[in-house]
Structure 1
Amino acid sequence: MSQKTPIFCTGATGYIGGAVLARLLNHPNRDNFQITALVRNPEKARILNTRFGVNAVLGSHHERDKIERLVEDNHVIFHVADADDHELIKAVLKGLKNRHAKLGVMPILIHTSGAGVLADNARGEYPSKTIYSDLDVRQLKDIPETAFHRTVDLRVVDADERGYARCQIILPSTVYGIAKHALVEAGVANPRSIQIPTIVRASLSRGRAGVVGKGLSMWPSVHTTDLAELYMVVFDNVMENPNKVGHGWQGFYFAENGEHRWLDISNSVGQAMFELQLTENPEPTSFTVEELKKYFEYEEMGWYFGSNVRARGDRGRELGWAPKRTTQDMLASIKPEVAMSAKKP
Structure 2
Amino acid sequence: MASKGSVFLIGPGFIGLEILGKLLHEGYQVTTLVRREEARASIEKLGSRTILGTLDDGNLIRDNAAAADITIHAATADHQPSVDSVLNGIADRAKSGKSSIYIHTSGCSEITDNSNGEYVCDKIYTDDTPKDIDGVADNAPHRSIDLAILKRRKELGAKAKISIVFPPLIYGLGQQGRLSIQLPTMARFAIKHGYAGYVGKGKALWSHIHVSDLARGYMTILHYMESTAGVEVLQNPYFFIENGEEYSWERCAAEIGKALYKAGKIQDPKPKEITPDLYSYIFGDWSIPVVGQNARCRANRLRALGWKPSAKKTFDSLVEDELSILLAEKTDFAGYAAPVAS
Aligned equivalents of 2:289, 2:76: Cα separation in 1: 21
- Which residue of the other structure, out of 231, 241, 245, is the alignment partner of 1:255? 241
- Over 3 Å counting, the alpha-carbon distance change for 1:80 and 1:89 in structure 2 is same
Residue identity matched to 1:40: R
- Which residue of the other structure, out of 154, 171, 176, is the alignment partner of 2:171? 176
Verify: 1:61 aligned to 2:60, yes or no. Answer: no
Residue identity matched to 2:300: D
Aligned equivalents of 1:222, 1:209: Cα separation in 2: 22
Contact 2:200 2:288 in 1 (8 A): no
Verify: 1:21 aligned to 2:25, yes or no. Answer: no
Contact 1:134 1:312 in 2 (8 A): yes
Residue identity matched to 1:250: N
Helix, strand or coil at the partner of 2:201: coil
Aligned equivalents of 2:248, 2:204: Cα separation in 1: 6
Q: Percent of pairs identical after alignment?
A: 30
Helix, strand or coil at the partner of 1:307: coil
Aligned equivalents of 2:283, 2:75: Cα separation in 1: 20
Helix, strand or coil at the partner of 2:179: coil
Residue identity matched to 1:171: F
Paired position in structure 2 for 1:130 = 123
- Which residue of the other structure, out of 74, 93, 99, is the alignment partner of 2:68? 74
TM-score, normalisation: structure 2: 0.90
Q: Following TM superposition, by how much is the alpha carbon of 1:159 offset from its aligned partner in structure 2, in angstroms? A: 2.1
Paired position in structure 1 for 2:326 = 341
Paired position in structure 2 for 1:11 = 11
Helix, strand or coil at the partner of 1:19: helix
Contact 1:120 1:309 in 2 (8 A): yes
Aligned equivalents of 1:86, 1:299: Cα separation in 2: 20
Aligned equivalents of 1:247, 1:301: Cα separation in 2: 35
- Over 3 Å counting, the alpha-carbon distance change for 1:207 and 1:315 in structure 2 is same
Residue identity matched to 1:96: I
Contact 1:100 1:106 in 2 (8 A): yes
Q: Following TM superposition, by how much is the alpha carbon of 1:302 offset from its aligned partner in structure 2, in angstroms? A: 4.1
Task: Using the TM superposition, name which of 226-235 and 300-309 deviates more.
Answer: 300-309
Task: Using the TM superposition, name which of 317-326 and 51-60 deviates more.
Answer: 317-326
Verify: 1:304 aligned to 2:290, yes or no. Answer: yes
Helix, strand or coil at the partner of 1:250: coil
- Over 3 Å counting, the alpha-carbon distance change for 1:121 and 1:300 in structure 2 is farther
Aligned equivalents of 2:289, 2:302: Cα separation in 1: 30
Verify: 1:232 aligned to 2:219, yes or no. Answer: yes
Helix, strand or coil at the partner of 2:308: coil
Paired position in structure 2 for 1:187 = none
Aligned equivalents of 2:235, 2:295: Cα separation in 1: 19
- Over 3 Å counting, the alpha-carbon distance change for 1:249 and 1:127 in structure 2 is farther
In structure 2, runs of 5+ residues without a counterpart are: 331-342
Aligned equivalents of 2:277, 2:169: Cα separation in 1: 24
Contact 1:108 1:166 in 2 (8 A): yes
- Which residue of the other structure, out of 80, 94, 99, is the alignment partner of 2:93? 99
Aligned equivalents of 1:88, 1:305: Cα separation in 2: 26
1:158-197 → structure 2 map (5 Å cutoff)? 158-162=151-155, 163=157, 164-179=159-174, 181=175, 184=176, 191-197=178-184
Aligned equivalents of 1:91, 1:3: Cα separation in 2: 27
- Over 3 Å counting, the alpha-carbon distance change for 1:35 and 1:291 in structure 2 is same
Helix, strand or coil at the partner of 1:168: strand
Residue identity matched to 1:342: L
Aligned equivalents of 1:70, 1:137: Cα separation in 2: 30
- Over 3 Å counting, the alpha-carbon distance change for 1:38 and 1:212 in structure 2 is same
Contact 1:296 1:302 in 2 (8 A): no
Aligned equivalents of 2:235, 2:230: Cα separation in 1: 15
Matched length = 326
Aligned equivalents of 1:290, 1:202: Cα separation in 2: 13
Q: Following TM superposition, by how much is the alpha carbon of 1:82 offset from its aligned partner in structure 2, in angstroms? A: 1.5
Residue identity matched to 2:22: R
Contact 2:160 2:230 in 1 (8 A): no
- Which residue of the other structure, out of 206, 213, 218, is the alignment partner of 2:200? 213
Task: Using the TM superposition, name which of 74-83 and 234-243 deviates more.
Answer: 234-243
Task: Using the TM superposition, name which of 226-235 and 158-167 deviates more.
Answer: 158-167
